[in-house]
Amino acid sequence: MDPLLEERLAIFERTGQVSPEICRFVRDELEALAAAGGEITEESAGTLASHLLLALQRARDGEALTDFPADDTVRAELAGQPRAMEQAAALAGRARSALGADLPEQEVRFLALHLAVLRQREATR
């Protein structure tokens, strides 16, 4: 894994913002994206990593997002990105199974937006 991205994960864990189990889960997910051919670096996936770490911890702590004013905008952006929505839903399912963290649909859509951006970056390189 990219050293800067690894450092990001370590900081979240070391400072107690997320549990070690959630950090491991996110690390595994990022490594799976890289193994599938994605360029997973601090620059390309740092924001995705941070969002996923915090979303999973919030969900696990029972503090999941309940009001997201930009949800309609995110839905519109994702209208032409069904693959990103499928990836995000699959990731949410793995999180539910592995961590007991049930991400609300708004969080899943926001993760799909991150994944769509990642895919667009890959297409332009």
How far is the C-alpha of 32 from the C-alpha of 40, rounded, in Å? 10
Q: What is the pLDDT of residue 4?
A: 97
Say which residues have a Cβ less than 8 Å from residue 76's Cβ, sequence separation at least 6: none
Higher pLDDT: 29 or 76? It is 29
Whether the predicted pLDDT of 10 surpasses 70: yes
Domain harbouring 12, CATH code: 1.10.1790
Q: How many domains does the chain have?
A: 1
pLDDT digits (tens, 9 = 90+) for 48-89: 999 999 999 999 998 866 666 676 777 777 888 889 999 999
**Average pLDDT for residues 33-41, to the nearest whole number?**
90
Long-range contacts, stretch 86-89, CB < 8 angstroms, 24+ apart: 87/112, 87/115, 88/112, 88/115
- Please give the residue range of the domain that contains residue 56: 3-123
Whether the predicted pLDDT of 45 surpasses 70: yes
Encode burial over 55-73: b for 16+ CB neighbours within 10 A, e otherwise. Answer: bbbbbbeeebeeeeeeeee
**Single pTM value for the model:** 0.90
